Amino acid sequence: MILYMKQHIFTWGDKFSIYDEAGNEQYYVEGEVLTWGKKLHLYDLNRREIAFIRQRLLTLPPKYEILQNDQIVAELAKKFTFFRHEYKVNGPDWKVYGDYTGHDYEITENDRCVAHISRAWFTLGDAYRIDIDDSVDEVLTLAVVLGIDAAIEAERNSH
């Protein structure tokens, strides 16, 4: 399945819409403002929360928890490596490799690509193409992508 995530510009806080290939909105993302750490809510078409991503504070490396139905289903952590950037997703046991600043990376499970994320260029605001293997949880994959986007933004803002 191919989805497109587009950041809303000129808004207070993080807001994204996620569309299918035909341009139909499938999901909506809204971030909380004035909170300690990043907090993002992923909603379905009826605006029901289907995932919540929150930054765990005071952790090294930075970590993000992904919750569904108030239960932690995954934890995203940046790994310290010298030669390349890498994230580990505990829960589904995924690894994430690639060029995060260029927004071109893939999520793997047992060395098999389960999702490829690439940046759409020449758009206002951030926009991504997310190609998700049909065998994996689409909502969890989107939550991981949102967590990585939050981690990249936090790192960019700290420099």
DSSP β-ladder status, 15-20 and 104-109: unpaired
pLDDT digit string, tens, across residues 3-53 = 999 987 655 668 999 999 999 999 999 999 887 889 999 999 999 999 999
Tokens read off for 59: 């952790």
pLDDT digit string, tens, across residues 47-70 = 999 999 999 987 777 799 999 999
Tokens read off for 149: 């986007």
Tokens read off for 53: 């991503």
